[in-house]
Every structure is written in C-alpha cells, then in structure tokens.
Amino acid sequence: MDIHATIGNMMNNKKIIDFKLGELFCGPGGIAIGAKNATVISGNVEYRISHAWATDYDKDTCDTFTKNICGNRKNSVVCKDIRKIDFQRLNDISPIDALAFGFPCNDFSIVGEQKGINGVYGPLYSYGVKALRLFQPIWFLAENVGGLKNSNEGNTFNLIINDLYNSGYSVYPHLYSFDKYGVPQARQRIIIVGIRKDIDLSFKIPSPAPYAKFDNSCRNALENPPIPESATNNELTKQSKQVIERLKWIRPGENAFTADLPEHLRLNVKGAKISQIYKRLNPDKPAYTVTGSGGGGTHMYHWKEPRALTNRERARLQTFPDDFVFCGSKESARKQIGMAVPCKGVQIIFEAILKSFAGISYPNIEPSYSPMMH
C-alpha cells in the first residue's frame, strides 16, 4: 500500500501512518477539522489524516479555510471554479492518499427546484470522479444532502454510485442522521466512503449507539460552556420591533404558522408554509438544520431571547471549535456555516475509516443503501 506520508520510527518507536487528504469543494473547513481531530492508535502505530490541498470557488470560504487549517502552507488552497482548475497543479502541490469532496448540493436539496443532475450544480460531482481516476487515492469520502437519493427517481444517485465504483472503488453509501451521533442538530447527509478495490479491506458504517447518552440539546450546546466574550463571529443581528414582538408570541419549538399569533403579527403567506420561518429552537432537543439562509424569518431563533442566533451560536450547532474564525461579512460567515459538514459528525466517520485500516473492530450497523464491492 503506497501511503506517501508513512513516517518512519519516532524516538519513542511509534510509527505514524498519515493519510494526506485533498479536498474539492472544501467549504470553510468542517471536513478538514473532523479529519485533523481523527486519530486512531493500534499498538505502536498511530493513524491520522493531514491536509494536503483544498479547492473552493468562494474567496471568503477559501480565506476561512486557509486561516484555520493551513498554517504556513497558504498556497495549498486553490481558490477557483472547479471547472477551470488544472488538476495536475493540485498533484504538484502534494500527492494525496485520500480525497474528500462535498460536491454542491443545491440541485439535490429538498428545498429549491430539485433540478438534480441537469442543474447547474448537479454535474459537479463528476470532478470528484475525475480526481479519483487521475490520482487513485487509497480511499475517499463524498458528502451530499439526503435528497440526493430521491433526485430523478433515484437515477441520479445510482449514476453517481456507479461512476464512483467504476473509478476503481468499493463504495459504501449511508444516510447519516448526525443528531444520533452526538451532534446538537437534526441534520441528515448521505456520506459515501470508498476504498480502492486493490486493497483487501471493507468499511462498516459506525453505529450511533456509543453516542446515545450524549446531551445533544441546543441548551447544552450553546450554554455549556458559555461562549467566551472574546469569541469572533458572535455579533447580534438587529431585529425590528415587529420581529421582536412576534417572537415573544412564539414558544420554543413553534414557528410563525403553528404559534397563536395576534392578527397584526401573522404572515400573509399563501400556499406552502415553510416550517422554519421564525422557528424558535426547543432547548431540550437538537436544533433543526442549520442552513446558509437568513432573510425573511429564516434565521434560527433563540428559545428564550427574542432574537436570531449569532453566527458563533450557529457554529456551535455545527460543532466548530470556538477559536475557529470565519472570514468575510456576517452574511458570508452565515452562509459558510450553513454549508459546512458538522466537524464532530464527520470525525466519527474518519475514525471508522482509520480503524478499518488499523484492523480495529468497532460497533457498526447495516448501511442505508447497498454497498458496491469488488
């Protein structure tokens, strides 16, 4: 097995197997933080993952990733439209052992027009396939919204799985409900793990059972410990008097349509009534899904105070550490946070991958979807 970064014996005779990770559509760094924190030790061998290079097209997102992930390797982030990137340039930055790509989900999300593979963003998964075929990393992790499975009556999902399999990988897709893995947020994502076919091991879906006793409530996430006064991205959003008055009538867990509002505070909306409009968190449950939107009552709203959450509070629900700094405007930071993968959720999956390579068994469950194995 050709792992570029197998580091020889250390002074304490520990051997480090360090998978160099490349990322396409890297976002602000949720996957990267999860990878960085994933470490598995077996005997005198430590298995870990480190940053090799990353790409994204949004400048603020790239600045955030660079500031928090790259250290002094600022040139390891390529800020450019994926369709215009010379992939050989990525390999020149660093060879990789692993690839992660959270390909844009806009066309597969249940919110929106659901254009699927025929939308602007749908075909972008093919650049992940291109990278797999070109670089042939040992393993990969791909991420997308749960709605991907139903796009185009399931044909899009099958096409993507087949393309990944035909790139030389055994493929293990699963729908993860991150709130069951200790994340304080009801967020479902399809994560596809792939292991190169010439490697004699299989991947098993980690069980959520070890996290069943975690307190993943909003209250615990936002108050324990309190957010430090020095934390960045914690400025309040200005609320109009009408919004403040409306929120006072909405109880925890309710939204603008389920609350008993006085007539002058009701929303004049016909047709579909989106459940997250002016929805207040239930402090004793995980949050509803953090998104990148904000206007028209789509901010997330505190259960006790009549206000929207700050970006730092939203970042807590995504399990980012408090010292993680989001670059750009408040609106830009909000979008970055909403599009990220929960750090601690993906860390569990990375650790399962590392345990697979270390030959360590772990509690596992049946996959949501049938794997495709060689």
**Residues with a known catalytic role:** 105
Q: What is the CA radius of gyration of the chain?
A: 21
Which two tokens mark 276?
A: 């997250």
Q: What angle do CA 111, 233, 28 make, to 5 degrees?
A: 55
Cα 214 to Cα 222: distance, rounded to the nearest angstrom:
15
> Is residue 344 a contact partner of residue 286, using CB atoms and an 8 Å limit?
no
What gap in Å lies between CA 202 and CA 47, rounded to an integer? 17
Looking at residue 337, its amino acid is I
Integer Cα distance of 26 and 257 in angstroms: 36
Encode 264-282: b = buried (16+ Cβ within 10 Å), e = exposed: ebeeeeeeeeeebbbbbbb
The closest of 32, 74, 80 to 56, measured between CA atoms, is: 80
Task: Write out the DSSP string of 34-98.
Answer: HHHH-EEEETTEEEEEEEEEEEES-HHHHHHHHHHH-TT-GGGEEES-GGG--HHHHHHH---SE
- Alpha carbon 218 to its chain's center: 18
**H-helix segments, 323-374:** 330-339, 343-358
Residue with tokens 């010292």: 323
CB 292 within 8 A of CB 339: yes
Q: How far apart are CA 242 and CA 358, in angstroms?
A: 57
